């Protein structure tokens, strides 16, 4: 069948220059997806307390299409341990998009249910009837189905949003941080699927900091699986895309004809002749052309989630089909998939305002649609010309009228409704089939309206199976309250990063708080010349963690010799690198107790005013690899037991004019004795001459032979005396 197709389309994108409050909804998670929605942190960056397990459904290329389609309705599952010895277990999801702010949302809608872990899993995790508080003696005999009410009473899940800027800022004390953590009013969760809704509002919020954290906590003693389906943070604002027949402020438009590129960029504005209000409209007509389209759009970097509804005001002629396309993600035939099933139609030759329940269309394909990847919307009107002619013939229209019919649309407005309108009176309601008893239904449909559909609720999962991937404790960021909760020493980079977060929380009033960092698994304190506070007082107050592996203090004006009183084995038992340089206040002797820091690998004390001799105790540091005492005022004999440093690779005592003794009897990667009076009695292949007065090693006596001769003579003498004594 031949067609004369008239196509009218509007494509809308959101621009980068608008404020975040002008942008759309934020999806959190969509059924069947293997990660959180766009703009949320990656699965590797989810923070949680110890023992939290995260399960995402995952498709497999080897699986059948039917199996993969089934998985696309699976929920995400989070295993939340019981509170144990702490106040709660928790998981924290954060938004990485810096223009987003959850506090600008008016509400959150989340599909949720909970289930009990299996008895075996609980036992494997170390739980007992007693530790949970259940009336049983053995978990293997406990009937979770029969005793659902009891174990549910041991679950205390709470949901929050919060600002990381407030939580990590030392100017806010714990009470203030708790005040600004906004709890969502979901109430008690059940074992059945339900959509929970909470308003998001702060009566007395006087800060100007964004909220980008979504938290779940379990304050109960009962571990629980939290099943998460489609979840949205919804805004209340209506976003106009087309107003009074013109693109809304901030949007641009262009037009084209497939067979007439010469008309590119032409928009026709006019008033419908019989419109008493004389409203301006954009007019699209298919006269003499097969394809006509109109787009409104902007290029931008941010993308957002779907609205709950769209509305558009039009007056159409000879148009019998409309389509909605959400970006390049999904196309819906509004006539066959939406209007007719609801017994509605879009009348021709009348000015009408059409409301579309986008939410229902989205939930029908959550796997593709529940995300934050939307960049625009497209409304398309098109006509089957033969169908229109047949209809006009049945209406007894004359032949000239039939042949001259022109598909045309007057387009007045187009709006995105982030939250579904509560007042439906402004919108057109016309029955498609007057013989049916049900009226045209433009209300927002809910799960009850989708009864019998495969997408009514997410799949009920009794236990995670091979179709799930497990993320175990992605980042252990336990919000604990004591330094005792830290390990004695960090053994991995992850452990250090997790510990660093707790340290910054515990010492948030310390002036050194932002000077801590991680060098792989090593906790490091780095303080430079811009530091104007008194570091000694911080050490004296015990505000420095003992887990430090690296201390680096450079060019600190207020530093003095009392710093050495605090750098000892009792305070820093795991210290590996000690670097204190360029500090004129260090005009004292190197303390003897430095030789007790048995884990030291580097001592770097160059460019100070250190005096006295080098402590012999340094020769006890078996792990020492680098010793740099250059550019000081050291004097006296260099300890001979420095030769005991079997791992030493780099040695520098240059620019210590009164330092005496012998060079080390070992080959090093590098060494420097410049401007000292140290003599070269050993292998000096890579070393500089310290004094021209020292004899060359070839001119020195062979002390090993001499020692042997002395020893041999002494032994003969003793033997002779013993013989005389015996025979007398």
Which domains, from first to last, does the chain contain? 9-13+239-444 (2.60.120.430), 25-236+457-469 (2.60.120.260), 480-698 (3.80.10.10)
Cα–Cα distance, 659 to 662 (Å, whole number): 10
CA distances from 206 to 179, 180, 365 (A): 12, 10, 40
Task: Check: pTM over 0.85? Answer yes or no.
Answer: no
Give 429-436's long-range contacts (Cβ < 8 A, gap of 24+).
429/344, 430/344, 430/345, 430/346, 430/347, 430/352, 431/343, 431/344, 431/345, 432/339, 432/340, 432/343, 432/344, 432/345, 433/343, 436/343
CA-based nearest residue to 158, from 131, 196, 122, 127: 196
Average pLDDT, the chain: 81
Spell out the alpha helix ranges (H) of 507-587.
Answer: 535-540, 563-566
Instruction: Give tens-digit pLDDT for 568-611.
Output: 888 889 999 999 999 888 899 999 999 999 999 999 999 999 99
183 CB burial (10 A radius; 0-12, 13-18, 19+): middle
Q: Which residues pair with 215 in a beta bridge?
A: 92, 160
Q: Give counts: helices (H), strands (E), the chain.
A: 14, 37
Tell me which of 137 and 318 has the higher pLDDT.
137
What one-character DSSP code corresponds to residue 495? H
- For residue 461, give both structure tokens: 């999962």
Spell out the alpha helix ranges (H) of 341-406.
Answer: 358-363, 366-369, 385-394, 399-403
In the prediction, which pLDDT does 310 show?
94
CA-based nearest residue to 508, from 162, 167, 180, 206: 167
Contacting residues for 523 by C-beta, under 8 A, at least 6 apart: 490, 496, 499, 500, 503, 516, 517, 545, 547, 548, 549, 550
Cα–Cα distance, 675 to 630 (Å, whole number): 10
In the prediction, which pLDDT does 392 show?
66
pLDDT above 60 for 714: no
pLDDT above 50 for 3: no
CA-based nearest residue to 302, from 19, 10, 94, 11: 19
Maximum Cα–Cα distance across the chain: 158
pLDDT above 80 for 433: yes
Q: Answer for the pair 231, 105: CB distance below 8 angstroms, yes or no.
A: no
Tell me which of 23 and 31 has the higher pLDDT.
31
Instruction: Give tens-digit pLDDT for 484-540.
Output: 667 778 888 878 877 887 787 777 667 787 788 889 899 999 888 777 677 787 777
Instruction: Give tens-digit pLDDT for 43-75.
Output: 777 888 888 999 999 876 666 667 677 889 999
Instruction: Give tens-digit pLDDT for 613-653.
Output: 999 999 999 999 999 999 999 999 989 889 889 999 999 99
Mean pLDDT of 13-26: 52
Cα–Cα distance, 460 to 229 (Å, whole number): 11
Distance of alpha carbon 357 from its chain centroid, rounded?
Answer: 32
Question: C-alpha angle 654/655/656, rounded to 5°?
Answer: 95
Q: What is the dihedral sign for C-alpha 189, 77, 446, 215?
A: positive
């Amino acid at each position: 069948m031949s067609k004369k197709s008239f196509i009218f389309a509007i494509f809308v994108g959101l621009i980068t220059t608008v404020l975040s409050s002008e942008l759309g909804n934020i999806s959190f998670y969509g059924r069947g997806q293997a990660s959180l929605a766009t703009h949320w942190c990656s699965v590797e960056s989810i923070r949680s307390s110890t023992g939290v397990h995260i399960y995402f459904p995952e498709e497999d290329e080897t699986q059948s299409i039917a199996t993969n389609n089934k998985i696309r309705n699976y929920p995400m599952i989070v295993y939340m341990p019981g509170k144990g010895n702490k106040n709660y277990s928790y998981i924290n999801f954060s938004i990485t998009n810096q223009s987003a702010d959850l506090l600008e949302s008016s509400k959150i809608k989340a599909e949720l249910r909970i289930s009990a872990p299996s008895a075996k899993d609980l036992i494997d995790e170390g739980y007992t009837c007693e530790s949970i508080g259940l009336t049983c003696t053995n978990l293997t005999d406990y009937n979770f189905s029969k005793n659902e009410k009891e174990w549910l009473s041991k679950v205390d899940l709470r949901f929050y949003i919060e600002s990381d800027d407030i939580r990590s800022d030392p100017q806010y004390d714990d009470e203030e941080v708790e005040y600004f953590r906004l709890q969502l009013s979901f109430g008690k969760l059940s074992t059945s699927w339900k959509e929970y809704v909470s308003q998001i509002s702060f009566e007395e919020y006087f800060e100007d900091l964004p909220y980008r954290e979504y938290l779940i906590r379990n304050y109960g003693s009962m571990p629980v699986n939290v099943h998460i389906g489609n979840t949205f943070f919804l805004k209340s604002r209506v976003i106009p895309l087309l107003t009074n027949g013109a693109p809304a402020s901030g949007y641009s438009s262009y037009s084209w004809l497939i067979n007439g590129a010469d008309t590119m960029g032409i928009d026709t504005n006019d008033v419908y002749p019989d419109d008493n209000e004389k409203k301006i409209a954009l007019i699209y007509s298919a006269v003499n052309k097969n394809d006509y389209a109109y787009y409104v759009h902007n290029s931008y970097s941010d993308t957002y989630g779907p609205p709950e509804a769209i509305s558009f005001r039009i007056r159409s002629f000879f148009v019998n089909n409309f389509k909605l396309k959400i970006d390049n993600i999904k196309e819906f035939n509004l006539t066959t998939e939406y209007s007719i099933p609801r017994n509605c139609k879009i009348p021709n030759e009348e000015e009408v305002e059409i409301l579309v329940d986008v939410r229902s269309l989205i939930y029908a394909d959550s796997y593709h649609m529940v995300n934050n990847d939307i960049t625009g919307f497209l409304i398309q009107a098109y006509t089957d010309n033969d169908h229109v002619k047949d209809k006009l013939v049945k209406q007894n229209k004359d032949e000239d009228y039939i042949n001259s019919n022109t598909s045309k649309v007057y387009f007045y407005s187009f709006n995105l409704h982030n939250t579904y309108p509560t007042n439906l009176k402004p919108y057109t309601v016309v029955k498609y089939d007057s013989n049916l008893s049900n009226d045209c239904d433009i209300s927002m449909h809910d799960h009850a309206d989708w009864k019998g559909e495969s997408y009514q609720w997410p799949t009920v999962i009794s236990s995670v199976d091979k179709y799930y991937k497990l993320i175990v404790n992605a980042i252990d960021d336990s919000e604990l309250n004591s330094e005792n909760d830290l390990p004695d020493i960090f053994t991995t980079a992850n452990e250090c990063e997790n510990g660093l977060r707790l340290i910054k929380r515990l010492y948030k009033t310390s002036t050194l708080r932002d000077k801590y960092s991680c060098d792989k698994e090593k906790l490091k304190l780095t303080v430079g010349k811009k530091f104007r506070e008194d570091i000694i007082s911080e050490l004296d107050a015990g505000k420095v963690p003992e887990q430090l592996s690296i201390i680096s203090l450079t060019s600190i004006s207020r530093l003095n010799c009392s710093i050495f009183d605090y750098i000892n084995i009792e305070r820093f038992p795991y210290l590996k690198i000690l670097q204190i340089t360029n500090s004129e206040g260090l005009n004292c002797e190197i303390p003897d107790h430095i030789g007790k820091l048995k884990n030291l690998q580097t001592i770097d004390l160059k460019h100070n005013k250190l005096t006295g001799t080098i402590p012999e105790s340094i020769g006890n540091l078996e792990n020492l690899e680098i010793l740099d005492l250059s550019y000081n005022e050291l004097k006296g004999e260099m300890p001979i037991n420095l030769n005991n440093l079997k791992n030493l690779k780099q040695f520098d005592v240059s620019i210590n004019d009164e330092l005496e003794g012998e060079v080390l009897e070992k080959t090093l990667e590098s060494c420097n004795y410049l401007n000292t009076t140290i003599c070269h009695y050993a292998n000096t292949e890579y070393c500089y001459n310290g004094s021209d007065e020292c004899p060359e090693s070839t001119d020195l006596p062979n002390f090993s032979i001499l020692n042997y001769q002395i020893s041999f003579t002494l032994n003969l003498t003793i033997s002779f005396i013993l013989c005389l004594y015996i025979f007398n």
